[in-house]
Structure 1
Amino acid sequence: MLRTGAQYRDSIRDGRQVWIDGERVRDVTTHPAFKPIVDIRARIYDLAHESNTKPVMAYRDELTGEENCIGYKLPHNQEDWHAKRRAIDTVMRDINGYAVRVGDETVGEMWSLYDGRDILNEVDPQFSRNIENHIQHVLQSDTFHVSANTDPKGDRSKRPQDQDPDMLLHLVKETDKGIIVRGAKYETAAAYANQAFVKPTIANWGDDKLSDYALGFICDMGSPGLKHICRTGFTGRARPEDYPLSNRCDEVDTLLVFDDVLIPWENVLFYRHTKAAAFIRGTLHRYSAFPFTLRLLYIADLMLGAAAFNARQTGLDAQQAVREKLALLMQYRESIDAHLIASIAMAQKSPGGLLMPHQSLLYTGRHAAINQLPLMMQLARELCGGQICVTPDKATFDNPEIKTWMDKYYSVNEFWSAEDRRRLLAFARDLLNSDRAGHMVTFELFAQSPPYAQLNHIYMNFDMANALAYVKDCAGLSNRVMDQWKKK
C-alpha cells in the first residue's frame, strides 16, 4: 500500500543508533541536520496521494488491485520507463532542487539480482526466492530502500584476511536464525531509510569459490548492533536565504558499522559465494544507472538556467562569446537527454525477462555526463561572473543603514530588482561554489563508481560485432580473425 509522509516518519522512529557532529541523535525526523531531507522524502510519499500528482506517482497493480509506487515497479516495457521518468520530473519540480538517494534509483540493483536467479539457485534455491519476496515487499510496503556499497578502504595492497578483518564486512558465524556479520559500509541516506541492500565491493576473488566477504543481504536500518555515524551536514551552516540548496536538499552520508548484526535467513540473498558476488558487481548499475544519469540532467538544467538568467539580465547573451558558452551547456544537457531517450528507445530484454535500458548507450551517456560535469560547472561559473563570490549575504541587503546602496548597485533594470538578483546569485553560488557544490562532484564518483569502472562497463557492454565485420570486409580479412575474437 502507498505510504503517507506521516507513516514514513513513524517508520524511522525505531530507536536506531545515529550520531552526527559527535552527538547522539534521538529522532532523525526532527534533528536539524536530517529534517529537511526527511521532509523531502515524506513529501514524495504524499505526492502519491494528492489528486493532481497521484496519476504520475502511482499505479494500480493488475494482480493485487493495490496502488503501488511507480518508481518501484518492475520494468517490462518502454512505457514503464517513461512513467518512471515522469515521476522523477514531478518530484524534482516539486522540491525545487534535486535529490539523488530517495529509493527509485537503488531498487534497480535488486532487479539485477532478479536477473541472476539462476546463479543464486546454484547456492541455494531459497536465496532466489528471497530476492523475489523482497522485490514484492518493497513494492507492496512502499519501503524506503537504499543501497550500502563502499567499504572503509584499509590497506588495499593486502588481502582482507591479512589485515584487520573488520575493514571489510564479513561473515562471523551462522545461526539458526540467520548470519552474524561484522564490519562497515558507507551509505547515503541510511540514517533516515528503512532498509539497505548490502553487497561486497571486492572485484577480484581470484580462484576462490567461497569467501566470508562475499555477502549480499537486506538489512533493516534499525537493527540491533547497527550504528550510523554520519558526516557533518551542510544544513544549518548558513542561513537558507544565502545557501538555499545546502539547506534544502542535503542528503547525509553515513558510515554504517555492523557490530555483530543478525541478518535473518529470509533477508540473505547470497553469502560466501564469489560467483554471485562477481555477478552483482558486474550488473549492479544495469537499471540504476538510468535514474542516476537522469539526475545529472536536472543538474545540467540548473546550471544552464542559472547561467542564462545571469547573462540575460545584463544583456550579455547578445555577445557571440557568451552564446557559445551557453551553447556548450545546452549541448551538454541535450547529450545527456539523448542518451537517456535512446537507451529506452533501443531497450533490451534482460536475462530475467525485464526490459533494461540499452546498456552500451546508457553507460556511455553516464560516463560522458559525469566526466564533463566539472568543465560544465566552470563554464557556468564564468557565465555567472565574479559576483557569485563577492556578493554579501541577505542580512547585508536587509540592513536599513546600507539597504539603499545595496538596492542601487544590485538593481539592473525594470525586470531585475536587487532582491531577485541577490536570490539568483545566492542560488548560483550554492550550486557552483559552495561546499555542497564540491561535494556534488565527488558524490557522483562515489554513487556511480569511479571513471575507470564506468569505462570498463562500456567496454564490457559494447557490441563490437558490427565494427569488426565491417573492417574484415573492407580489409579483405579471412573469417579466421573473427573466430579468434569470438573465442576471447
Structure 2
Amino acid sequence: MLRTGEQYRESLRDGRQVWMNGEKVADVTKHPAIKPIVDIRARIYDMAHEQGSKEIMAYRDPATGEENNIGYKLPHSQDDWHAKRRAVDTVMKDIKGYAVRVGDETIGEMWSLYDGRDVLNEVDPQFSKNIEHHIQHALTSDTFHVSANTDPKGDRSKRPQDQDPDMLLHLVKETDKGIIVRGAKYETAAAYANQAFVKPTIANWGDDKLSDYALGFICDMGAPGLKHICRTGFTGRAPAKDYPLSNRCDEVDTLLVFDNVLIPWENVLFYRHTRAASYIRGTLHRYSAFPFTQRVLTIADLLIGTAMFNVKQTGLDAQQAVREKLAELICYRESINAHLTASIATAQKSPGGLLMPNQSLLYTGRKLACSQLPAMMHLTRELCGGQICVTPDSSSFESPEIAEWLEKYYHVNDFWSAEDRRRLLAFARDLVNSDRAGHMVTFELFAQSPPFAHLNAVYMNFDPSNALTMVKNAADLSDNVMEQWAKR
C-alpha cells in the first residue's frame, strides 16, 4: 500500500512521550518546531499519489499487483538505483531545500542485515526470518523507518560495564514476550517516525563472543517506556522570510531513552552475539551511503546556485578570480556526482543476491563529500560577500520610515530588485551562516559515522591487488610478498 500524508500524521498520534524545551509535546504533528518537517514527510507520501510524481515515487509490484514506495524496494538492478536516485532528486526540488532522514536512506541498513542472514542464522534462524519479515513489512506498510545508532558515550576510556551501564543500550533480561532493554540512543527524526532500527555503536568487543550490549532490533517509536527528548528546534527562532531553510527543513534530533522497554521477539534481529554486531557495523552503510551522499550533492547544488546568483547580480562573474572559485564549487559537485554515477555503473552483487553500489567508489565519494563540505561552505561565504552577515531583516525592508533607504541601497539593476536581493542574501545567510548551517556541517560530518570510520570504510573496501601486482612486477619482487598480503 501507499500511505497518504494524512495517514502518516494520524499514525503519530499514538501516545508517544516527546519533550522539547522542557515541555511535553501533546501532538508532534501540531507542535510549531516539529510540524514543518512532519509536513515535508507527509508531502513525500502525498507525492506518491499525485499525477506527475506518482510514476517517480512509486512502482507496482508484479507479484502482488500492489503499489509500493520506490525508496523501500530491494535493489536488484541498475535501473532500481536510477529510479531511487530520480525519486530523491524529485523530492528535494519539491520541498525547496533538503532533508536527510525521511526513510529511504535508512532502510538500506536493513538490507545489510539481509545480506548477513548466514551470520544471523548462527545465532538463531528465527532472527534471519525476522529481518526478512521487517523488510517486507516496511515495503508493504510504507512505514516511516529510521535508524538509531549513536550513544551518549560516557567515559570511553572505560568498558560499559565499568561505569553506569545505561550509558550504552543493553539487555536487562529475557522474557517469554521478548527482551527488556535500558539505555539511550540519539536519532534524528525519531519523534516523528514510526519505527527505528536500533543497533550497537562502534565498539571493541575484544574476544567476547557474547555481550549484553550487542543488540539489534526494531522498536516502535510509541512503545511504552520509550521517551523522546528533543533538541531545541531552529524553526520559529526568526521569521521565515529571513531564515527560510531553518523554518522549513529543520530535522529534529532526539535523545531516545529506553526505560525498560519491551522488544517483542519478532522484532529482535540479533542480541548478545558480538559477531553479528561487528558484521552490521562493518556493512551498515553498504546501501544507505548512496542516498546519504546524494543529499550532499543537493547541498552542493544549493551552494553553487547561491554563489552564482550573487556574483552575477553584482557583475563579478566575468572576473577570472571569481570564476576560479566557482569552478572549485563545480568540481566539488561533479566529483560527488561522478562517484555516485560510477558506483551504479560498476555496481556489485551483494552476498545476499542484491545489487549494491560499487563499494570502493561509494565510500570514497562519501568521504570526499563530507570532508570537503566545510571548505565549500566557506568558499560560498566568500563569493557571497560580507552582506550576508550585515543585511537588515525583512521587517526593516517593510518599515514605512526606512524602506525607501533599503530600496535605494539594495536595488542593483533592472534585473535585481531590492526584494530579490534581500531574499537571496537571506537564503545565503541561512544556508552557510545560520545556527542551522553550523548544525548541518556537524551533522553531515558525523551522520553516517565519524571521519575516521569513513576512511576505514574506504580502506577496507578498496581492492589493492592491481596496484600491488604492478609494483611486484615493476620491482621484480618474489611471490612471497604477495602471499604475505593475501594472508593479512
Counterparts of residues 365-444 of structure 1 (less than 5 Å): 365-444=365-444
- Which residue identity lines up with residue 85 of structure 1 in the other structure? R
Moved more, 80-89 or 195-204: 195-204
User: Take 2:144 and 2:270, find their aligned partners in 1: how far apart are those partners?
Assistant: 22
2:99 equivalent to 1:99: yes
Relative to the length of structure 1, the TM-score reads 1.00
Q: Which residue of 2 is the match for residue 127 of structure 1? A: 127
The code of the aligned residue for 1:344 comes to: I
CA displacement 1:212-270 (0-9 Å, x = unmatched): 00000000000000000000000000000000000000000000000000000000000
CA distance in 2, matches of 1:448, 1:304: 24
Q: Quick check: 1:161 aligned with 2:161?
A: yes
- 1:480 Cα deviation (Å)? 1.3
Residue of structure 2 in register with 1:28 after alignment: 28
CA distance in 1: counterparts of 2:252 and 2:171, whole angstroms? 27
- 5+ residue gaps, structure 2, are none
Q: Which runs of no fewer than 5 residues in structure 1 stay unpaired?
A: none
Which deviations, in whole Å up to 9, do the C-alpha atoms of 1:422-441 show, x marking residues without a partner? 00000000000000000001
Corresponding residue number in structure 1 for 2:171: 171
CA contact (8 A) 2:182 2:261 kept: yes
User: What is aligned with 2:483?
Assistant: 483
The one-letter amino acid paired with 1:356 is: M
Q: C-alpha distance in 1, partners of 2:377/2:52?
A: 35
TM-score between both structures, scaled by the size of structure 2 = 1.00
> In 2, Cα distance between the equivalents of 1:465 and 1:309?
46
Structure 2: how far apart are the matches of 1:19 and 1:412? Answer: 46
Secondary structure of 1:438's aligned partner: helix
Structure 1, residues 75-110: CA drift from partner, whole Å, max 9, x if none?
000000000000001100100000000000000000
CA distance in 2, matches of 1:406, 1:13: 46
Q: Take 1:385 and 1:165, find their aligned partners in 2: how far apart are those partners?
A: 50
1:199 Cα offset (Å): 0.2
* 1:37 counterpart residue number: 37
Q: Give the fraction of aligned pairs with identical amino acids, expressed as a percent.
A: 82
Match of 1:196 in 2: 196
Q: In structure 1, what is the Cα distance between the partners aligned to 2:272 and 2:314?
A: 63
Give the SS at the match of 1:212: strand
Is 1:469 paired with 2:469?
A: yes
Is 1:287 equivalent to 2:287 in the alignment?
Answer: yes
* 1:174, distance to aligned residue in structure 2 (A): 0.4
Give, in whole Å, the separation in 2 of the partners of 1:269 and 1:51. 38
Runs of 4+ off more than 3 Å:
none
CA distance in 2, matches of 1:40, 1:199: 27
CA contact (8 A) 2:170 2:181 kept: yes
Partner of 1:181: 181
Q: Distance in 2 between matches of 1:220 and 1:274?
A: 24
> Could you list the per-position Cα deviations for residues 390-430 of structure 1 after superposition, in whole angstroms to 9, with x for gaps in the alignment?
00000000001111111110000000000000000000000
* Counterpart-to-counterpart distance in 2, 1:161 and 1:46: 47
Q: Cα distance, 1:478 vs. partner?
A: 1.3
Displacement after TM superposition at 1:62 (Å): 1.1
Aligned-partner residue type, residue 9 of structure 1: R
Residue in 1 aligned with 2:336? 336
Distance in 2 (CA, whole Å) between partners of 1:474 and 1:158 is 48
For the aligned residue pairs, the C-alpha RMSD in angstroms reads: 0.5
The residue identity in structure 2 corresponding to 1:404 is: E
2:249 matches 1:246: no
Cα distance between partner residues in 1 of 2:263 and 2:45: 28
Question: Alpha-carbon deviations, 1:176-198, whole Å to 9, x = none?
Answer: 00000000000000000000000
CA distance in 2: counterparts of 1:195 and 1:75, whole angstroms: 22
Q: C-alpha separation between the residues in 1 aligned to 2:97 and 2:261?
A: 36
On the 8 A contact 2:371/2:445 being kept in 1, the answer is: no
Distance across 2 between alignment mates of 1:66 and 1:381: 48
Amino acid in the other structure paired with 1:460: M
SS at match of 2:317: helix
Counterpart CA distance in 1 for 2:361 and 2:52 is 34
Give the paired residue count: 488
Matched residue, 1:63: 63
Separation in 1 of the partners of 2:31 and 2:446? 25
Structure 1 CA distance for aligned equivalents of residues 218 and 291 of structure 2? 21
Q: Distance in 1 between matches of 2:125 and 2:445?
A: 35
Deviation at 1:445, TM superposition (A): 2.4
CA distance in 2, matches of 1:288, 1:6: 27
Q: Distance in 1 between matches of 2:233 and 2:406?
A: 31
Give the letter for the 1:464 counterpart: P
Alpha-carbon separation, structure 2, partners of 1:441 and 1:316? 28
